[in-house]
Amino acid sequence: MPDPQLLYIVTAVVVLGLVAWVIVVLARPEKPESKDEPRALPPEPSADAPKLDVKIHLPDRQKQRLHSHAEIHDEPNAAAPQSSLPGEQEEDDGPTGPNALILVTAVGLTDPGLKRKHNEDAYAILEDHQLFVIADGMGRHAAGEVASRLCVDAISEAFRTASFGPPREPPLPRRAARLRGATLLANERILAAAAENDAYSGMGTTVVSAYFSANNQRVYIAHVGDSRCYRLRARKLTQLTRDHTLGAAGIQGKSAAVLSRAIGVEPAVEVDVQVESPLPGDVYLLCSDGLSRMVAAEEIEATLLSTPDLDVATKTLTDLANRGGGRDNITVILVRVDDAKPSSP
Ligand code: CA
């Protein structure tokens, strides 16, 4: 017979052991849970974070699709004929008479501003073609200068040689199609230069251009990015272009100024083209953001109203931009429209 006292001790030890085991087993699940909790947290923020990242990086001069809705306002796209027959496009463009109906006079000026060593803006005035172009480049080191110069030169060359590249979709009136074609050739030229030289990779540029047709009294305005075209008519300044920026797409904060489209960044880029009927007395203003960010539209309007001389007005506007901080390169082209009749023989 076992000793009852020994049996009692053994039983007590077994019970205590069981109690200890239960405590250990109960305590154990808490540890895995506390490990799982932090693991469970990341999926939530990481589900949000990529979204924020995408929003910030999307427009980083790369993705245009997000902003395709901005195309809705494009008059020429809406006005483009269903048929791509050249005759119909020309008809839609308005009848072209034998005589000039308007006379355009232009002055351009660029200024590096007060803060930047380089001037990454470029512009061209092609009086023979009544074509006016401003490009505002960006890139590492001085690649922005290269991009804007390539852009302006490629567009100029297209008009000088009457080589506007292959037919593009959607069909546009002939002169609008020329301007778009020239702009797309500039896009290809910059991409090719960037592919050839590592120092140029990632460069790009904005562009705004105005192409006047005196004989059918039209102006074709093309733009990509945040370089702008304004029109002064009946003493009122109107911004004709809408910036391709995040801000214009409704994004607020620091990234609002980030471009949603640029020339020379991707093989495909949408070029906004609009057609206007210029009237004698109109003044068209093309500018880089070095003017429009430094000088309020009301002040630009007041300057144009008080300064009929185009040379003086371009100088006054760049001076105002420098007085407003001159944080960026400033480029201005002013085009005055006059009635052609007084100068006709
Ligand atoms: Ca600029």
CATH code, 220? 3.60.40.10
Q: Is residue 86 part of a domain?
A: yes
CB atoms within 10 A of CB 226: 25
74-108: per-residue pLDDT in tens?
333 333 333 333 333 554 566 778 889 999 999 99
pLDDT for the residue numbered 19: 54
Which DSSP symbol is given to 110?
Answer: E
Is 281 or 15 the better-scoring residue by pLDDT? 281
Residue 324 has pLDDT above 80, yes or no: yes
Could you tell me the distance, in angstroms and rounded to a whole number, from the CA of residue 229 to the centre of ligand 1?
Answer: 14
Task: Name residue 168's amino acid.
Answer: R
Q: Determine the Cα–Cα distance for residues 3 and 16; give it in Å rounded to an integer.
A: 20
When the pLDDT of each residue in the chain is averaged and rounded to a whole number, the result is: 80
pLDDT given for residue 92 in this prediction: 55
Kindly report, residue by residue over 219-245, the tens digit of the pLDDT. Answer: 999 999 999 999 999 999 999 999 999
User: If you average pLDDT over each of 19-33, 86-100, 104-118, which comes out highest?
Assistant: 104-118
In a domain, 48, yes or no: no
Does residue 53 fall inside a structural domain? Answer: no
Say if 337 falls within a structural domain: yes
Distance from Cα 290 to the centre of ligand 1, integer Å: 5
The verdict on residue 217 lying in a domain is yes
**In this structure, is residue 165 part of a structural domain?**
yes
Output the CA 211–ligand 1 centroid distance in Å.
22
pLDDT of residue 44: 30
> Would you state the torsion angle of the CA atoms of residues 152, 156, 159, 161, taken in this order, to the nearest 10 degrees?
-130
Q: Looking at the domain assignment, is residue 47 inside a domain?
A: no
> Picking from 227-231, 296-300, 340-344, which range would have the lowest pLDDT averaged per residue?
340-344
Work out the average pLDDT over 117-135.
Answer: 97
Same domain for 88 and 217, yes or no, is: yes
Q: Based on the domain organization, do 14 and 144 belong to the same domain?
A: no
User: What end-to-end distance do the CA atoms of the chain give, in Å?
Assistant: 142
d(CA 271, CA 219): 16
Which residues have C-beta under 5 Å from ligand 1, the single-atom ion? Answer: 136, 288-290, 328
Per the structure, the count of domains in the chain is 2
Instruction: Assign 5 a pLDDT band (cuts: 50, 70, 90).
Output: confident
Q: Is residue 204 part of a domain?
A: yes
Does residue 224 sit in the same domain as residue 272? yes
Same structural domain, 35 and 63: no
3-state secondary structure of 142: coil
205/69 same-domain check = yes
Q: How far is the CA of 261 from the centre of ligand 1 (A)?
A: 14
CA distances from 120 to 84, 110, 241, 340 (A): 38, 10, 21, 36
Residue 14: Cβ-neighbour burial (10 angstroms; 0-12, 13-18, 19+): exposed
Looking at the fold, whether 68 and 35 belong to one and the same domain comes out as no
Same structural domain, 22 and 148: no
Q: Name the token pair of 297.
A: 């539209």
170 cis-preceded (ω within 30 degrees of 0) = yes
Token code pair at residue 271: 């070029």
Question: Rounded to whole angstroms, how far apart are CA atoms 116 and 203?
Answer: 17
Per the structure, the complete domain to which residue 13 belongs is given by 4-41
**Residue 341 CA, ligand 1 centroid: distance in Å:** 39
Crossing angle between the packed helical segments 297-306 and 310-323, to the nearest 10 degrees: 150
For residues 10 and 131, membership in a common domain is answered with: no
**21-30, 158-167, 208-217, 312-321: least confident range:** 21-30
- pLDDT reported for residue 72: 24
CA distance 258 to 223: 16
Q: Same domain for 201 and 277?
A: yes
**pLDDT for 62:** 29
Q: Are residues 142 and 17 in the same domain?
A: no
pTM of the prediction? 0.74
Q: Which residue has the higher pLDDT, 14 or 29?
A: 14
Segment 302-306 shows an average pLDDT of: 98
76 alpha carbon – ligand 1 mean position (Å): 27
Lowest mean pLDDT among 89-93, 114-118, 233-237, 258-262: 89-93
Nearby residues of 64 by Cβ (< 8 Å), 6 or more positions away: 260, 261, 266, 268, 269, 270
Give distance in angstroms: CA of 153 to centre of ligand 1: 18
Strands (E), 116-265: 121-126, 131-138, 204-213, 218-224, 228-233, 236-239
Regarding whether 99 and 130 lie in a shared domain, the answer is yes
Q: Is 129 in the same domain as 31?
A: no
